[in-house]
Amino acid sequence: MGKNGKKCCSLQGAQQAILTKIQKLPAEIVLLKEAQQRIVFKDVVAVAPQPSFDESTRDGYVVALHLGFDEKTNRFEIVDEIPAGKPYLKTLASGTACKIMTGGCVPKGGARVVPYENCVERNGEVIVPENLLQSTETFIRKVGSGIAQGEWLVSAEVLIQAGHLALLSSCGMHSVAVTTRPLVGYVCTGSELTAEPEELGGGRKFSSNSFLLEGLLSSVGACPLNFGIMEDSQQELLNLFSKVSIDGLDVMITTGGMGPGKYDLVERAFVEAGGKVIFNAIAMRPGKSILFGILGHTLFFGLPGPPNAVRTLLNVLVGPALLAMQGVRGALPKKVQAHLQHQVKIKRNDVLRLKDGVLTIEEGRCFVRFAGRLEVGNCFILLSSGQAHYCEGELVEVYLTVDLSARL
């Protein structure tokens, strides 16, 4: 317990405290056309072999070898034609042949395919050079030679991409088990906020956190549910929190109302609604004022109001929690080391600071700099407490921004 009764912890402590409360969501079966950018729930194996039939790899003639040897050993009577997609249902008799297209189904009795350019067709027969009848190359892909039935295809926790969809469909699959998407409700609090441009001015400002939440929650596979904007009213917050569990939310997020001021009412309403506080402060800037707790079966994040703090906490705490709910191992942001491209001086170095950064790779080395005033960073630079000065070229730790594509 910290000052003023605060349950304060480090960033690492907060991350671990959250992960201990995570339970993996159940599976749902979706069609392949709906599966891209979803997380595989369990290992996927082939339900059918690939190819599912003996397949010709060339345009040519599929031949059934003579049972004996005579002067017509390399001559085969042409009895039919096999286009791709239309199998020859009869057994190919000894000494006969069928024209066949690439991808065509090799009939029973067919021993090899001889490419058109290596043969001569004359008077209803195809004449094949004898040396080709002895070749080890048959130009036939045997059933299951690419992928055997029951063979492993995609591991659990993998993010499904277009290539996976092609692979699964080639093995006869039309659906796949994926982890259910977390249902995340969010509300932006503050009597000064509006979503209507015509209401701007006179102390009102646009609720930019709504767009920030919608975008980042979607990028980590969640289903965002916008509860809109709420004025600074403890009773309205209490009414909202009281129905959270009824709505079946996996996670509830608020922004604003997390300071020590008169209108910072989120924690009071949360506790009154029966919420259990796990921690309510982090030794980190931005994002020091944060609430994490449990309300019924719903995980609750009370985030501060400034958008830079919201974006930071979504990346280092909320996003990883949502990835973990979907079964992603190593859900915490990826951490790398990079060389600073400029010196850094910090006036107050009492807590860990996270700064928006731009990470680049040059000749196999990572470099990072502060993001510009209007620039969107792709990482967060970790500046440790107790260190007020960093030199240009010094190695620092960097968190990559978190989203599903970063899990590839």
| Span 333-368, pLDDT tens digits | 999 999 999 999 988 778 999 999 999 999 999 999
Domain with CATH 2.170.190.11 in the chain: 55-141
Residue 260 has pLDDT above 90, yes or no: no
- Give the confidence band of 266 by pLDDT, cuts at 50, 70, 90: confident
Residue 408 has pLDDT above 80, yes or no: no
CATH class of 55-141: mainly beta
More confident residue, 233 or 383: 383
The CATH number given to 335-407 is 2.40.340.10
- Give the confidence band of 397 by pLDDT, cuts at 50, 70, 90: very high
Average per-residue pLDDT in the chain?
89
Q: What is the mean pLDDT of residues 296-314?
A: 93
Fold of 28-50+152-179: Molybdopterin biosynthesis moea protein, domain 2 (3.90.105)
Which pLDDT belongs to residue 235?
A: 86
Residue 391 has pLDDT above 90, yes or no: yes
Which pLDDT belongs to residue 251?
A: 96
More confident residue, 191 or 221: 221
Instruction: Note the pTM of the prediction, 2 decimals.
Output: 0.82
Residue 219 has pLDDT above 70, yes or no: yes
More confident residue, 31 or 237: 31
Which pLDDT belongs to residue 241?
A: 83
Weakest-pLDDT range from 57-61, 67-71, 219-223, 379-383: 67-71
Domain with CATH 3.90.105.10 in the chain: 28-50+152-179
| Span 153-178, pLDDT tens digits | 999 988 899 999 999 998 889 999 99
- Give the confidence band of 115 by pLDDT, cuts at 50, 70, 90: very high
Domain with CATH 3.40.980.10 in the chain: 3-25+182-325
The CATH number given to 3-25+182-325 is 3.40.980.10
Domain with CATH 2.40.340.10 in the chain: 335-407
Which pLDDT belongs to residue 200?
A: 60
Which pLDDT belongs to residue 109?
A: 94
Which pLDDT belongs to residue 405?
A: 61
Residue 42 has pLDDT above 60, yes or no: yes
**Distance in angstroms (rounded) separating the CA atoms of residues 60 and 118:** 9
